[in-house]
């Protein structure tokens, strides 16, 4: 049974929550949750990864036990990730993000590509997405600042063109996991993003929808296992 520990950390003078599991001397993996969730959303996947990695799941600003400062953007999330990994002396790490978390990871990897060992985006790319009403209203959702959702959804509908244009700057092997035809994310844009990435690939779990790691955890774990163990050459 995986043992998780909860921690508080100050980043840019704001309190943040994160969960940790695995050997502290193992290669680090950072997990970033989607909108309206928190670090606990990753517990099943984190438990799987903790067999081989030091797993660090950060609760992002405006969610759960982390700060609700009223200011939200993907750029601020990127700054939080930089501060978090700097505080833990993680010079290079694997990054796994779902939805909002993957977009934060994209911005980070474009700015500091040398710090990313490998990256997984779950059912997202830096493009406009038409959210269906109530799409995230499922068990496991965490308390969150509604203004965070408002601000971030506005950015999703009006993405910075550089997020897409700079995909070629991301040098790390990157796996995009799509949820197939039942997801509201345009799957053809995931495929296009994978082609633009220097070392990108797309794997689709048909019928999984947007919450792939929740609806199809065993298939998701198998994709992670193969990707993270693959020879980078």
- pLDDT (tens, 9 = 90+) of the chain, 233 residues, equals 789 999 999 998 999 999 999 999 999 999 999 999 999 999 999 999 999 999 999 999 999 999 999 999 999 999 999 999 999 999 999 999 999 999 999 999 999 999 999 999 999 998 878 766 544 445 578 899 999 999 999 999 999 999 999 999 999 999 999 999 999 999 999 999 999 999 999 999 999 999 999 999 999 999 999 999 876 55
User: The whole model's pTM is what?
Assistant: 0.95
Calculate the alpha carbon distances from 223 to 146, 176, 202, 212 in Å: 33, 10, 11, 11
How high is the pLDDT of residue 127?
87
34-73 residues labelled b (16+ CB within 10 A) or e (exposed) = bbbbbbbbbbebbbbbbeebbbbbbbbbbbbbbbbeeebb
* Residue of 3, 5, 52, 61 whose CA lies nearest to 29: 52
Sign of CA dihedral 64, 95, 165, 206: negative
Burial class of residue 82, CB neighbours in 10 A (0-12, 13-18, 19+): middle
How high is the pLDDT of residue 138?
57
How high is the pLDDT of residue 56?
98
Tokens of 16: 């943040």
φ/ψ bin of 2: left (φ > 0), alpha (ψ from -120 to 50), beta (otherwise):
beta
How high is the pLDDT of residue 136?
46
How high is the pLDDT of residue 132?
63
Domain architecture of the chain: domains with CATH: 5-130+138-229 (3.40.50.1820)
Calculate the alpha carbon distances from 95 to 58, 81, 128, 174 in Å: 11, 10, 22, 9
Tokens of 28: 């680090």
Q: How far apart, in whole angstroms, are the C-alpha atoms of residue 89 and residue 170?
A: 21
């Amino acid at each position: 049974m995986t043992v998780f520990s909860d921690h508080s950390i100050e980043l840019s003078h704001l309190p943040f929550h994160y969960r940790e599991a695995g050997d502290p001397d193992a290669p680090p993996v950072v997990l970033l949750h989607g909108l309206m969730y928190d670090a606990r959303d990753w517990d099943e996947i984190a438990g799987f990864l903790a067999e081989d990695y030091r797993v660090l799941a950060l609760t992002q600003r405006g969610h759960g036990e982390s700060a609700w400062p009223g200011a939200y953007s993907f750029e601020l999330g990127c700054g939080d990730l930089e501060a978090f990994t700097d505080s833990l002396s993680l010079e290079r790490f694997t990054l796994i993000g779902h939805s909002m978390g993957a977009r934060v990871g994209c911005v980070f990897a474009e700015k500091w590509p040398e710090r990313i060992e490998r990256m997984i985006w779950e059912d997202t790319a830096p493009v406009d997405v038409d959210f269906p009403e109530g799409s995230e209203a499922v068990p496991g959702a965490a308390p969150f600042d509604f203004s965070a959702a408002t601000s971030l959804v506005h950015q999703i509908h009006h993405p910075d063109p550089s997020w897409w244009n700079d995909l070629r700057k991301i040098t790390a092997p990157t796996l995009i996991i799509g949820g197939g035809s039942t997801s509201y994310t345009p799957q053809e844009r995931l495929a296009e993003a994978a082609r633009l990435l220097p070392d990108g690939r797309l794997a689709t779990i048909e019928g999984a929808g947007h919450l792939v790691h929740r609806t199809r955890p065993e298939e998701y774990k198998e994709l992670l296992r193969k990707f993270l163990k693959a020879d980078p050459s």
